[in-house]
Structures are given as structure tokens and as C-alpha cells.
Structure 1
Amino acid sequence: MQSNVTTLEFSKYLYAAEELGRKSGLHITTGDDFDEYVEITSRLAGKSSTYPCFRPDSSDLPPGKAFWIIGRDRGGGVAHVQALRLDHLSNIDLAEHLGSLRAWFADPNLKAGPGSSSRCDAPTACSITGLVAYHGDIWLREDFRGRGLSTFIGGIAFGLAWAKWSPDFIYALVAGWHIEKGVVDRYGYLHREPHGSVLHLPAHGIHDDDWLVWLTRDELLKMPRTLMVDRFGRR
């Protein structure tokens, strides 16, 4: 059960994360209209295309199942985006989910294209089930990099995911350089395994071999205390 103390801590945590964003010149908005989101992200120079799992022409993204976060600079220009979705994995584990093209498309036969394949070789994915939140499509404009905003990116995502869904797990799929440079540590993810998503979608120009990184619900609930003290410098 979610205690009042935990709720208060998360409120303070979200405020601290937003404050970090504001100090860096980012004003945050959220929404659940993914037609609007894709229209925005398709115009961002230097950002790769939004994957099918966050595109309403490929996936089911009803209100309550997915939301996006957009950060704008003081002039109103988009400087940051990320998105999250919730999957109910009660009769399937994350390895099976990621190993199926249905992780990316509502109807793979219509949308995936020829030569498409997907698999997950991360061992722990076999034990990730229940309410599982996916955190992806993360992009930060080049002139905002190097300002310590990885903490903000993870913090605002984790806080909102907990407030909306209280998931059993939250995970992301990241390229190897995120591991090598410690980016996932700054996001706040505690676990990682290679070959979490070996995905080939030739028709979409996607050829990935990403790491799986994740947090359990208990670890997510500890984030306000640990990140606000260790990273935001407050209690």
C-alpha cells in the first residue's frame, strides 16, 4: 500500500527534479496525445525517429497507458523529450514480450515489414512480470548536454511513472555507450544486462542490440530518499 509519507516524499522528489530542470532552463509539460508527440519529435534535428511502440499508427496508446514529457527552453524551443508506456504482463514475462514483435506493434503482420525479428537474451527478463513500465525515446538537445540533466531525466520519469501507475518494474533499453559512460547510473537505474533487445526492423531502419536496465517497485519507492539526498543534496 502507498503510504502518505511515501506520497509526500515523491511530491518533494518531483518538485526537486522540476527545480533542477528549471535551473537548467527547461520548462516541463506532459501529455498523452501521441499524434501531437510524434508531430513534435519528427521535427527535432539530431533526434532519431520515434520507435513504433510510441507511434499511434503502429501501437495502441490510449490515455492512461502512456504519456510523454517535453522540456522547452526559455524561448519555447523543444530541448528534451522522453516517453513512457505501461504493459500488463500477467500471462507473459518481459523476455517473451520483448522477443515478440507485439512489443513494438499492435499488429506486426500489418506494420513490421519483411525481415523483421526481435529477441531478448537478458536472463532476468524472464522474471519481470506484472505491471511493467517502459521508459524510452529519450533525447536531449546538444546544447543542454553536459549540465548534469541525466538525473533530472530519470527523476521526472520515475516520479511520474510511480504517481500514475506504481508499476512492479520500470525498464529502459539503451545502447552500450550509455553503460560505458555511466549515463544509466546518473538516470538512476540499478541493474543492467546485455542483449536485452536484439531488434531488426529493416523497413524502419532499426538494427539494435541494446542493454536492458531496470528497477523494481521497491527500488523505485526508495528513489525519493536516495536521489534527493545523494544527488539533489536535500532531505
Structure 2
Amino acid sequence: MQSKVTTLEVARCICAADEFGRKMGLHITMGDDFEAYVGITSRLPGKSPTYPSFRSDCSDLPPGKAFWIVGRDREGRVAHVQALRLDHLSNTDLAEHLGSLRAWFADPNLKVGPGSSSRCDAPTARSITGLVAYHGDIWLREDFRGRGLSTFIGHIAFGLAWANWAPDFIYVLVAGWHIEKGVVDRYGYLHCEPHGSVLHLPAHGIDDDDWLIWLTRDELLKTLLHHCGRQIPGMGFALVFKSLQSYMGAKNGRHKIEFQLG
């Protein structure tokens, strides 16, 4: 399916998601400076701390390998965050990657702290290899919940992940209540297995038993293209497409992109 989908089509889907977010009062920016990102997320009331996987003092997050998304309300206050990173797992698999703690630390021997452990008991994780995108640190301010933004959160992430990396898989790790309440269904994910990440990091205050949720590359595209289906005014689309080209072509330095539509 990938060969039949152009970057232009995916950019149009990103525009559609961004337009929906704006109508709901969210103005989206993205960037790759994770020191700045943690500076934002650490000040958000009610949000759990950003995990080491998206902290530049724990993980290797160079431009081109990871990016964050921040949504602000009409007054400029942060109302939404999420982040994505790409891992090259051609010579290993997701179960080993999670179990080794390399999903959270560039060098687990230096950063994990005493009493730390990790394992992945989700059977399909052994088959998740190649270019694998991790989607996490998702937070939406309470006054924006219940307004249909879960689908927006998933689709803006799916579109940008494909535009940047075209990963073989994209996955997220979530607590059981996300399954019970159907949150991951609204994001657009199709598959789930329990005990995807049984993670104990006492030094970081983490004690999790999360579900593994994922999509294949073809499923990501089908989900994205099925839901976008909205024409975007030409000028706004051109600006977003130019921003995508700039982001995908950048190899050095840090930068932020603002989506401006309409």
C-alpha cells in the first residue's frame, strides 16, 4: 500500500487533523528539542512525569529520530502534549528492546538505578521488528476531554510518523483503563495484548504493567486515509507541506514548526 500513497496525500490528512484541532481550540506546534519539551511537560498540573524514553538526559533523541507535539488553547496555555521516537530494531525485536531497558535509556547501566527491571510478555512483540515508532507521553487537559479529540491525537501522530519515517510498526504502551474506556480505539489502534511492558524503575517512581497497542505500516496508512477525507484550502495546505519538507530534510540543529492553515 505504501507505494500507492504519496507524501502529498498524507500531508493533506495531517492538514485535516490540524484543522479539526483548531476548530476545537487547539493550536499545534512540533519540535525536537526534548530539553525544552520536558521543561513544558514538567509544569503541567495533573500530568505524570515524562518517562526516560523522551528525556534527553536518559535517551538519545537527535533531530530526525524523535519529535514532540504540543497543543495550546486560544490563550496560549498548553492543553495537549505527545511525543514520538523511532527505533531501528532490524537486528532485534520489540520484546527484547523493552526487556533490555534500551527503550528508555541509551545506556541502561548508567541511568536505571537499583532495583530496576523490565520485561515484555506480549507474544506479538517478538514479531515487531524493523523501523519501529514509539508513540507516548500523551496528555490532554481535563477541560478538553470528552470533545472527540482522541481521534485527532492519533491521526496527527500517525500522519507525522509516516511523513517522517514510514515505520514498519507504530506502538503505544498504556494502562488497562485505556482499554476499558476505549481510548486506544479512538486513537485508531487496532491490536492490543496485556503485559506489554512490566516496568519497575524505583529511582524514577515507575511501577507499570502496561498493555502493548500497535499498528502495522499498512494499517497505519489505512486508518489515516480512511478518516482524513477532507479538502484543505490551498494556501494552508501549501504551508503545511512546506513545513513537512523542512522538517524531514533537517539533519542538524533544533527547530519548531507551527501549523498555519486557512
**Residue 198 of structure 1 aligns to which amino acid in structure 2?**
V
Partner Cα distance (1:47, 1:224) in 2: 27
Partner Cα distance (2:5, 2:213) in 1: 28
Instruction: Tell me by how many angstroms 1:223 deviates.
Output: 2.2
Q: Which residue of the partner structure matches residue 228 of structure 1?
A: 228
**Residue 161 of structure 1 aligns to which amino acid in structure 2?**
A
Question: Which string of whole-angstrom CA distances, capped at 9 and with x for unpartnered residues, describes residues 1-43 of structure 1?
Answer: 8547543331221111001100110000000000100111111
RMSD of the TM alignment (CA)? 1.6
Partner Cα distance (1:37, 1:47) in 2: 13
**Mapping of 1:55-134 within 5 angstroms?**
55-134=55-134
Question: Which string of whole-angstrom CA distances, capped at 9 and with x for unpartnered residues, describes residues 74-127 of structure 1?
Answer: 000000000000000011100000111121111112210000000000000000
Contact 1:9 / 1:224 at 8 angstroms: preserved in 2? no
**Residue 209 of structure 1 aligns to which amino acid in structure 2?**
D
Question: Which string of whole-angstrom CA distances, capped at 9 and with x for unpartnered residues, describes residues 111-159 of structure 1?
Answer: 1000000000000000000000000000000011010100000000000
Which one scores higher on RCO, CA 8 angstroms, separation ≥ 6? 2
Contact 2:2 / 2:218 at 8 angstroms: preserved in 1? no
Deviation beyond 2 Å, 4+ runs, structure 1: 1-9
Where structure 1 has 5 or more consecutive residues not aligned to the other structure, the ranges are none
Q: Which residue of the partner structure matches residue 159 of structure 1?
A: 159
Instruction: Tell me by how many angstroms 1:58 deviates.
Output: 0.6
Partner Cα distance (1:118, 1:224) in 2: 32
What fraction of aligned residue pairs are identical, expressed as a percent? 82
Question: Which string of whole-angstrom CA distances, capped at 9 and with x for unpartnered residues, describes residues 32-62 of structure 1?
Answer: 0001001111111110000001001111100
Instruction: Tell me by how many angstroms 1:228 deviates.
Output: 2.7
TM-score, length-normalised on structure 2?
0.85
Partner Cα distance (1:123, 1:200) in 2: 20
TM-score, length-normalised on structure 1?
0.95
Partner Cα distance (1:77, 1:206) in 2: 28
Instruction: Tell me by how many angstroms 1:226 deviates.
Output: 1.8
**Mapping of 1:140-159 within 5 angstroms?**
140-159=140-159
**Residue 228 of structure 1 aligns to which amino acid in structure 2?**
C
Contact 2:68 / 2:84 at 8 angstroms: preserved in 1? yes
Q: Secondary structure at the match of 1:74?
A: coil
Q: Which residue of the partner structure matches residue 201 of structure 2?
A: 201
Q: Secondary structure at the match of 1:212?
A: strand
Partner Cα distance (1:149, 1:53) in 2: 24
Contact 1:6 / 1:221 at 8 angstroms: preserved in 2? no
**Mapping of 1:27-66 within 5 angstroms?**
27-66=27-66
Instruction: Tell me by how many angstroms 1:222 deviates.
Output: 1.1
Partner Cα distance (1:202, 1:66) in 2: 26
Q: Secondary structure at the match of 2:106?
A: coil
**Residue 189 of structure 2 aligns to which amino acid in structure 1?**
Y
Q: Which residue of the partner structure matches residue 170 of structure 2?
A: 170
Partner Cα distance (1:204, 1:224) in 2: 35
**Residue 26 of structure 1 aligns to which amino acid in structure 2?**
L
Contact 1:98 / 1:120 at 8 angstroms: preserved in 2? yes
Which range moves more in the overlay, 10-19 or 72-81?
10-19
Where structure 2 has 5 or more consecutive residues not aligned to the other structure, the ranges are 233-262
Q: Secondary structure at the match of 1:137?
A: strand
